[in-house]
Amino acid sequence: MIIQPYADVPAYRTRDGSEIRELMHPNVHGNRAQSLAEATVPAGTRTLLHRHDLSEELYHITAGMGRMTLGMERLDVGPGDTVLIPPGTVHCIEAIGEEPLRLLCCCAPAYSHDDTELLEREC
């Protein structure tokens, strides 16, 4: 069993503009089929519109309020909500409250920059 202490996980910026802490990833921890990350989207900002051809994602909101664009739909989300993002689905998420939006993101197969197609220009 592998335990990854949160304090040992450095944050980095992904291609979509969110701040990520990769809590468990096959390239680092030896698990095989998925990755788990915590994403933070600062209040008043959003990730870039993007899609993943291979990865199915689950977003589980842990703090803050958000507005999820999922294909042609726009959904308001908050703590306790979980969103399924099927492979190939265009999506982004915006922090609409006064505090940062925090979410857990599970990807299967594991997250890869190469599987992220940006549909907007990077900041």
Confidence at residue 123, expressed as pLDDT on a 0 to 100 scale: 45
pLDDT tens-digit series, residues 19-66: 999 999 998 888 999 999 999 999 999 999 999 999 999 999 999 999
In this structure, is residue 60 part of a structural domain?
yes
Which one, of 106, 17, 112, lies nearest residue 57 by Cα? Answer: 106
In this structure, is residue 105 part of a structural domain?
yes
Determine the Cα–Cα distance for residues 98 and 60; give it in Å rounded to an integer. 19
In this structure, is residue 6 part of a structural domain?
no
Q: What's the CATH number where 74 sits?
A: 2.60.120.10
In this structure, is residue 4 part of a structural domain?
no
> In which band, very low, low, confident or very high, does the pLDDT at 16 lie, cut at 50, 70 and 90?
confident
Structure tokens at 91: 């999506």
Domain count across the chain? 1
Domain that holds residue 49: 12-114
In this structure, is residue 93 part of a structural domain?
yes
In this structure, is residue 1 part of a structural domain?
no
In this structure, is residue 123 part of a structural domain?
no
